[in-house]
Structure 1
Amino acid sequence: MESVLNRNHRTVNGIDSDPKTQKSSKKVPIWQRLRNRFNPRPPDDDEPQDWWFASTAIPLIAAATSPFANVMSIVALSMPWKSEIYPDQKDPEGNPLQVLLDDPRWIIGLNATSLALAVLGNLFLLFNFTRSVRYIVALPATIILWSLATAILIGITSSMHIYASPIPPNQTYSQAYWYAVIAAVHYFLLTAILMINMLGYFLGHYPQYFALTDGQRTLILQTMTLGIWLIVGAAVFQRMMHLSIAEALYFCDITILTLGFGDVTPKTPASRGLVLPYTVIGIIILGLVVGSINKIIRDLQDANVVRKHIERRREATIERSLTDEDIQRRVPFPPNTSQIAYRPNHTRNTPIISKVTAFYRSAIIGRPKALLMKEERDRFNAMRTIQRETAVFRRWFRLTLSVLAFAVLWTCGAVVFWALEGQFTYFQALYFGFCSLLTIGYGDITPTTNAAKPFFVVWSLIAIPTMTSLISEMSNTVVAVFKHGTSQVADWTILPHTGKYKSFVQKFPLLLAALQKHAEKKRIDQGFPVGPGDVEGATDGESSHSHHARHPRSTDELPSDSELSDFELAQRLSFAIRRTARDAVSRHPKRYSYEEWVEFTRMIRFTDPSPRDTVLFEDEYGILHWDWIGESSPMLASQTEPEWVLDRLCESMIRFISTQAPKWNSGRTGDEDEPTLRKEKDI
């Protein structure tokens, strides 16, 4: 398949489009120049993609938030846009009585048209996700329909303000008017970001489809459910509590978000009884939405921020450990190996191998085994260091991003409330925003104006999930640090672990020798023997050798492949598969030591059917060769270490069976003695 670079031909229909070679007197038509710039990709294109925010985040944001824009449009259509205030009369909640005034018919008709166009745009966007309609048809249709909905809302709100505005001091805009304004802004923003997505497609940054995961599609369904639950609850409580639909939507919002200001409350037994199931189901839906949002944000951060951080740290480690000049000066590359090692982009048809791996493959002949083993362990330890640093970076990056999002929503929201509520000072707006974000809900300060309540509904649906995400990240960082510190204090004071002080003393040889000498003298005085077989902590005749046998053997103690037969290696492979399967299903994924990795590597590579010093293709035999600080390092995989090792061991078992099949098919005499299976503990 053509690459992205190959699609940018320098000639289009025989006309040279390169400005360096094109004569100034010969001008290329505008349509041909535009055609040179745009390189749309077909749906089955599997070339690398970029512009990840435009290709993934933008359609996800549009599909997940558009239902709330529809909810605002429904409220704007369901009630008049002007009201008459009677300060000397009070409504059931104790506020000045407001009587809604009828709107002109042209406003109602255009408002309904705008809502119909917006809903139709949502349907085309969903058809695009399900691929029921082609991208090149569905996305422009969504953009056009939402643009028309935006233009109509802007037109009627502006016309209302110019030709039929409220007459002060007693008349004012109702909450429905401000919901129409917010809906127009929302549709405009969604249209703008979808145009960015289409631009990225025409420029060839990604193919013509939305590559959303199952979790992202689930989020879209959950936000649609939440929007429907809010508007249905508003319609029901409007009748039961004798409220306007805008006031009922505000009540549903503060109920589901567990704010409970107390400015709007159910008065009748029927409405109070209905609050119970409505609140429980609404909180469950909201929790699902917040959980999905947190997971998707973490996945995007891991794929586009943390992954790049790992790659930078890995490349820096490679540059410190081995330079290109050192490689070329010390050992020449085998044929075609240098091209493989330095190729920046690879496909499934080229070997996936790092330059460090290529170097050590070419340099392994004639080098001392001890030196090679030391270098291998050093690279393993370097990758473990990168893993630890990345874990710290990931936690604190997420916490920092959550704090910044919280600070922006808090302070900027306070500015808007300060402007919309004439009776608020900025400090009071900050106080109100903070109490709302933490869902404290004292109720001493609440939004009262017709403009502040619609803005609060929109702001709270964004800000409170952000606060929930911040609390979650704090539990993973600050709370985890505090918990670790508490455990350390307990370990050294009232709840010490077995051997805690002993391991600390072992770090100081002089102090350890003095304590051991004192212990030996004390045992001699008490009449106990002291010798090589008497180890502290050994009981029931346990010797120092048996005590040491519980620990993993070092790489020097492991037998070489030549000392074991294929049958013995196959036995070890079977037991290794069983052990890693247990580790893979464990609640706490295990990280293997270097000695364990050496054993697993032997089990994986002993079934390699290729000749020595041959670069293999990944798709042909599975993953056989990797480098600890290379691109194919198992510690950079998306799987846990047990899952990754289990896949490689199963591949090795398949290779072993395929190589042994001809021997089994050739027939056996029947007099051969079957090897006796050894116990797993001996393996």
Structure 2
Amino acid sequence: MSLLLNMARRLSFAIAQPITIVGWFISSVLLIVLVALASSSTFRTQPMQEHALTQAYYYGIIAAGLYCIIALLMIVTVVGAYRGHYPKEFRLTTPQRTLMLQTISFMVYILLGALVYSKVEGWQYLDAVYWADFTLFTIGIGGEYVPKTHTGRSLLFPYAIGGMVMVGLVIGSIRSLVLQRGKEKMSARFMETKRQSVLSSLNGEERTIRVGLFEKINFSEKGLSESQRREQEFRVMRIVQEKAERTRKYFSLATSSIAAFLLWFLGALVFMHAEKPQGWSYFVSLYFAYTSLLTIGYGDYALSSNSGKPFFVFWSLLAVPTLTILISNMGDTLIKAFKDFTIWVGSLTVLPSDHGVRSTLRTSIQRMDIGKLHKENGKEEHATGATEQTTLDRLTEHIEEDELREAQEAGEHGDTLERDTHFYHYVLAKEFRQLMRDIDASPPKQYTYQEWSYYLRLFGKDETDASCHRKPQAKHDRSKHKYPNLGVADGGDNENGGPYTWSWLGVRSPLMGNKTEAQWLLERLAATLEREMRRMRSTDPKEHKKPPPISMTDLRTKYSSPRSDSQQLLEKGLSAAEVRRRQRNGDSGR
């Protein structure tokens, strides 16, 4: 009760935690004493060879162990909270609350169903719990525990359907909550480890950097502009990101596979010892555990001992999250690879793509050659002006959509500042809508360096401005920041009150945080819009004289050429698409 009151924020952490921890320890000690006395000669009235321990005895042992583990884990939580690693208050999110309620409801559903069937079928209550467990998990072991009355068989129809629905809900909550939270933590850890490893391998003499065990790429700042240097960092960070994510996926698969195999092998070991009266060998126990884990349930082997049944209930409940996580991790790796392979084989044989077999082969060869960037020592290409060109193209799209009446009117009156301000606000609103669409993309959208440069320029962070940037460092200064705020980049101020300077390969890189790239950009865009609203409401004349980071003059400069006066065409109201059409046809001057 104290733990629940603490989660509901009705009881303080300092009061609730000691009560909860002491309560679990007392419960554990009392159960241990009780089970010890129950197996002693004090309570044994019959000869030793006729003495048998009930299922309740083994449930008591399992419960005592769980209580002790919970208390020890809560001690770790308290120590971590007072050291600043964890918050001192439980703030349950909606998915966490949902998983708790669904788990509690499922356990109550099993126990109440067992109570009903113990009365209807005349079973012992704990035997009915064992039956309800293997029934709702669709294992169907059978044996002597099957409904034999018409009432029991009739009640099975709604009871089994309701139980399977609740199991599905619990599995869905485990997948969305446990896996997602674990993925975020592991991604951040692997990303930081890989980032430090890559930066530590920087060779100044050879001007190379190692991105893999046998992979080196050129990394030199000599002769590069600030924008090209930043793009080089971005490319390396993308490689770090991809390799760290691949490592995380296969590490998660290996961990969940080991957990599943331990559950199988150790469970079989316990079943072998529990079912010695039946003469089960270890292989038979492995067979039983395997058919139970996969819910095959042939029914040719069934548990009969008072120790095997309670362990089976506990073991099967552990199997639900374990196999859920394993299957999910397989979906991200092995199953995805097999699916891609079958689609590729189909496109070459019985189900060719719309572009034909030859096009499919050519695309496959190009994908195999995607590592060319990693292996070409000193041959990275830096497209001069590509970032600026992308920015202008993106702005031109907005011009094509609308001629921006307010901007045109301001331009006609010669007020270029007001014209550019209107244009800037229009672009921000349009990009806000685009990012809202990108938020829902699956898999999460990854932007090119040119797109990042465009968005950062909208936020007032020009990639060509060296004063906003810093050199990449393998490790952050713990004397100043014990726990760095990953992925903040241009967000917030440093210890001197000024904006953070950051590197694409640093801990504050936007690619380092747990947010998706679209989420990061959307948050910064929303902050930019708020800042612009405050500036427009300001009574300070200086605030209204600040030029926006983009202007329509940039576009007019782009469409000027020696052979045609495209600037005049734009000023006359022609769309950018029409200007380009006329330029291609060579009639822009007519």
TM-score, normalising length: structure 1: 0.61
Question: Structure 1's 622 and 591: CA in aligned 2 closer, same or farther, altered over 3 A?
Answer: farther
Question: Structure 1's 173 and 630: CA in aligned 2 closer, same or farther, altered over 3 A?
Answer: same
TM-superposed deviation, 1:472:
2.3
What is aligned with 1:458?
Answer: 314
Distance 1:161 1:507 in 2: 68
What is aligned with 1:298?
Answer: 179
What secondary structure is seen at the aligned counterpart in 2 of 1:557?
A: helix
What is aligned with 2:8?
Answer: 130
What secondary structure is seen at the aligned counterpart in 2 of 1:605?
A: coil
- Does the 8 Å contact 2:171/2:320 carry over to 1? no
What is aligned with 2:515?
Answer: 639
- Does the 8 Å contact 2:130/2:310 carry over to 1? yes
String of CA shifts for 1:122-141, please: whole Å, max 9, x gaps.
Answer: x1221222232222222222
TM-superposed deviation, 1:272:
1.5
- Does the 8 Å contact 1:607/1:655 carry over to 2? no
Question: Structure 1's 677 and 272: CA in aligned 2 closer, same or farther, altered over 3 A?
Answer: farther
What is aligned with 1:151?
Answer: 29
What is aligned with 1:498?
Answer: 355
- Does the 8 Å contact 2:453/2:462 carry over to 1? no
| 1:538-577 aligned within 5 A | 554-555=386-387, 557-558=389-390, 565-577=420-432
Question: Structure 1's 401 and 677: CA in aligned 2 closer, same or farther, altered over 3 A?
Answer: farther
What is aligned with 2:237?
Answer: 383
What is aligned with 2:450?
Answer: 595
Distance 2:200 2:245 in 1: 22
Distance 2:54 2:461 in 1: 77
**Percent identical:** 30
| 1:155-554 aligned within 5 A | 155-162=33-40, 163-165=42-44, 166-167=46-47, 169-201=49-81, 205-206=85-86, 208-210=88-90, 212-263=92-143, 264-320=145-201, 371-422=225-276, 423-493=279-349, 494-498=351-355, 501=358, 554=386
What is aligned with 1:533?
Answer: none
- Does the 8 Å contact 1:605/1:624 carry over to 2? no
Question: Structure 1's 193 and 603: CA in aligned 2 closer, same or farther, altered over 3 A?
Answer: closer
What is aligned with 1:652?
Answer: 528
Distance 1:304 1:131 in 2: 26
In the alignment, structure 1 residue 618 sits paired with structure 2 residue 506: no
TM-superposed deviation, 1:300:
4.4
What is aligned with 1:88?
Answer: none
Distance 1:460 1:559 in 2: 57
Question: Structure 1's 193 and 612: CA in aligned 2 closer, same or farther, altered over 3 A?
Answer: closer
What secondary structure is seen at the aligned counterpart in 1 of 2:138?
A: coil
String of CA shifts for 1:582-604, please: whole Å, max 9, x gaps.
Answer: 22244553222222222222222
* Larger CA Rg, structure 1 vs 2: 1
What secondary structure is seen at the aligned counterpart in 2 of 1:172?
A: coil
What secondary structure is seen at the aligned counterpart in 1 of 2:52?
A: strand
| 1:51-130 aligned within 5 A | 123-130=1-8
String of CA shifts for 1:549-594, please: whole Å, max 9, x gaps.
Answer: xxxx932535789999444444433332232222224455322222
Distance 1:411 1:636 in 2: 39
- Does the 8 Å contact 2:142/2:302 carry over to 1? no
Q: Which runs of 5+ in 1 are unaligned?
A: 1-122, 327-359, 510-552, 668-674
TM-superposed deviation, 1:416:
0.8
Distance 1:559 1:220 in 2: 48
- Does the 8 Å contact 2:39/2:53 carry over to 1? no
TM-superposed deviation, 1:415:
0.9
What secondary structure is seen at the aligned counterpart in 1 of 2:523?
A: helix
Distance 1:614 1:417 in 2: 62
TM-superposed deviation, 1:399:
1.0
TM-score, normalising length: structure 2: 0.70
- Does the 8 Å contact 1:607/1:656 carry over to 2? no
String of CA shifts for 1:22-71, please: whole Å, max 9, x gaps.
Answer: xxxxxxxxxxxxxxxxxxxxxxxxxxxxxxxxxxxxxxxxxxxxxxxxxx
Distance 2:365 2:3 in 1: 67
Question: Structure 1's 565 and 678: CA in aligned 2 closer, same or farther, altered over 3 A?
Answer: farther
Distance 2:142 2:160 in 1: 15
Question: Structure 1's 505 and 129: CA in aligned 2 closer, same or farther, altered over 3 A?
Answer: closer
- Does the 8 Å contact 1:421/1:448 carry over to 2? yes
Question: Structure 1's 611 and 676: CA in aligned 2 closer, same or farther, altered over 3 A?
Answer: farther
Distance 1:381 1:131 in 2: 46
Question: Structure 1's 601 and 677: CA in aligned 2 closer, same or farther, altered over 3 A?
Answer: farther
Name the count of aligned residue pairs: 471
- Does the 8 Å contact 1:590/1:642 carry over to 2? yes
Distance 1:322 1:606 in 2: 30
Distance 1:625 1:682 in 2: 42
String of CA shifts for 1:644-680, please: whole Å, max 9, x gaps.
Answer: 222222333333344445699999xxxxxxx999869
Q: Which runs of 5+ in 2 are unaligned?
A: 208-219, 367-384, 396-415, 471-488, 545-570, 580-590
